[in-house]
Chains A and B, each alone.
Chain A
Amino acid sequence: MSTPSAAREQALVTAFVRLADTLVADYDVIELFHGLCGDCVSLLGVDAAGLLLTDQRGTLQVVSASTEAANLVELFQLQAEEGPCLDCFRTSAQIHAGDLATDTRWPRFARLADDNGFTAVHALPMRLRGETIGALNLFHRSRTDMSADELAIGQALADVATIAILSDRNTRERERLTEQLQAALTSRVIIEQAKGVLAERGQIPLDEAFSRLRAHARSSQQRLSDLARTVTDGSFDTAPLLR
């Protein structure tokens, strides 16, 4: 990796301090996931990152991705019902595929990844006391075997995402987990709807709609999902966002 180690160390410290700050505050779990995916890109030199959660119905759902392109690949992966992410989720173990061109494990997935310009993928499980609730996917555009250090950092980021889902240890843990998973998926739906509303009103691309939504949530110091909710229920005037 070209990043000088001291600079990366500093960036890592900054990222984890920010995460810790977020975790002790009243945070939006989807926004935290987006930040984590961004951290994977900037800290680990991956080209795209995506986070998938179980919907407890037997399906994994993409809840966050660093780019729309990664989103695409993951959706393909779900469609194909095969791939490193599903294997990672099912086995609770990291899955490494440094070169999909020579990897024979998931032919359909490899072809779809290639179509989207991705050559390598690493999947890291989100584990919570014996239960696997999702996986973090790291994509590279060129052949890449991630180092043990990089994988350790990636796993730590995945663990933070897991902690974020279950921030407090409630006595009704099972119910709590279900509530939190469903709430995260609902937030994701609301944000996608709000992106659609903005993209249509402003005749802008969906990722641009998302950027503006996120920037406004930050500048007005509100949760991304709360802002998205007011966009979808019509109580927020979107005109200022579309100028």
Chain B
Amino acid sequence: MGGGCEVDQARLSQALADAVAAGGSEAALAVCRACVEWLPMTGASITMMTVAEVQEPVCATDAVSARIDELQFGLGDGPCVESFRTGRAVLVPDIADPAETRWPVFAAAAAATGARGMFVFPLQVGGARIGVLDCYRDAPGPLDDEDLTGALRTADAAVWSLLDRTHPGGDGPSGSVSAPDGSALVRAEVHQATGMLMAQARLDAPSALARLRAYSFSAGRTITEVADDVVARRLRLHPDGVWSNAGSGHPGQRDARSDDPVDSSSRDDEEKPS
């Protein structure tokens, strides 16, 4: 894997979008494969963080990636663990560099795997950490701007793939109109709507975002359009998982369920996530 080659961001983005749109349990691995195919990375893996910081390996493109994760979580040390702990990106140009003293125990073990550059990105929905994307390459050197852009886009796609995994939408992503990459995450109203759904249906942030997305699929609308409706109080999610159009949206009519079933898209879109 040589550095210096141009990253084709358009093809990477398309591969990531395809991976997420395909959905299902293979989505996360497809995201990792896109990362290795279109970025100068040797391998990539995704580890999910479940309750109370329990890690669960989700997928890895190769044995070395899997081994790197295993080492870190076994030792409780390393860039991956640090990213888990802090919620921050950790970029290590060369884990074998003697000047790299942050993780002495892990560094010694990692050297045996042949990995040099290690780049870890937290996967989170606001403050809720759901996992990490761990990329490595067998040559030392920092990420250049293009590599970094691509890696961050990969991390955004990985977030969606994990939402699919942990909060599978009954509707499936077929006929998706929203580009399921990171672009929706730019918009303030998506996060505001996520907060409102959290309060309406007593969900955590990842579940609320997953529901927002599942609804946008079933309604054939973009996630930002749906978020706009939630923020404008035209659409709400009830604790039992049922969506309703809020008619005039008069604040205070909190018990009004489906008082104005304007269109069929307000039907139950799936079972409530457990």
Q: Taking beta carbons and an 8 Å cutoff, which residues of A are in contact with B?
A: 55-59, 61-62, 71, 75, 78, 172, 174-175, 178-179, 182-183, 186, 188-190, 192-201, 203, 206, 228-229, 232-234
Contact = CB atoms under 8 A, between A and B. Distances in A.
A56 B155 CA distance: 12
Interface in B159-206: 182-183, 185-188, 191-200, 204-205
Interface of B: 9, 87-91, 124-128, 142, 145, 148-149, 152-153, 156, 182-183, 185-188, 191-200, 204-205, 231, 251-252, 254
Given A193-B191, A196-B194, A201 B126 contact: no
Given A192-B192, A200-B200, A179 B89 contact: yes
B188 A71 contact: yes
B198 A57 contact: no
A189 B126 contact: yes
CB-based closest 3 A-B pairs: A196-B195, A192-B191, A200-B199
Given A182-B88, A197-B199, 11 more contacts: A55-B152, A55-B186, A56-B148, A71-B188, A192-B192, A193-B194, A197-B196, A200-B195, A200-B199, A203-B254, A206-B192
16 contacts: A56-B152, A58-B149, A59-B183, A174-B91, A175-B89, A178-B89, A179-B88, A192-B188, A193-B192, A193-B198, A193-B205, A197-B195, A197-B199, A199-B195, A201-B199, A203-B252
Contacts of B199: 196-198, 200-201
B152 A57 contact: yes
For the complex, would chain B's binding face be called helix, strand, loop or mixed by DSSP majority? Answer: helix
A231 to B, nearest CB: 8
A196 B91 CA distance: 33
A184 B146 CA distance: 21
B187 A75 contact: yes
B219 to A, nearest CB: 20
Contacts of A55: 152, 186
A229 B197 CA distance: 16
A196 B149 contact: no
A233 B127 CA distance: 8
Nearest to A171: B99
Contacts of A182: 88-89, 152
Nearest to A131: B145
Contacts of A57: 149, 152-153, 156, 182
Given A78-B186, A206-B231, A232 B196 contact: no
Q: Of residues B90, B128, B156, B198, which shows the largest number of chain A Cβ atoms within 10 Å of its Cβ?
A: B198
Please indicate which of the listed interface residues B126, B128, B142, B204 has the most CB atoms of chain A within 10 Å of its own CB: B126
B15 to A, nearest CB: 15
Nearest to B92: A175
Contacts of A192: 126, 188, 191-192, 194-195
Contacts of B196: 196-197, 199-200
A183 B88 contact: yes
A183 B122 CA distance: 11
Given A193-B191, A196-B196, A197-B198, A186 B124 contact: yes
Contacts of B91: 172, 174-175, 178
B188 A232 contact: no
A189 B205 CA distance: 11
A212 B148 CA distance: 37
A107 B186 CA distance: 23
A190 B152 contact: no
Contact of B126 (A78, A190, A234): A190
Contacts of B182: 57
A203 B252 CA distance: 7
A70 to B, nearest CB: 12
A165 to B, nearest CB: 14
A174 B142 contact: yes
A212 to B, nearest CB: 14
A4 to B, nearest CB: 37
Nearest to B199: A200
A229 B128 CA distance: 9
Contacts of A198: 195, 199
A43 B193 CA distance: 33
Contact of A232 (B9, B145, B193, B205): B205
A210 to B, nearest CB: 10
Given A199-B196, A200-B199, A233 B88 contact: no
Contacts of B156: 57
Nearest to B190: A192
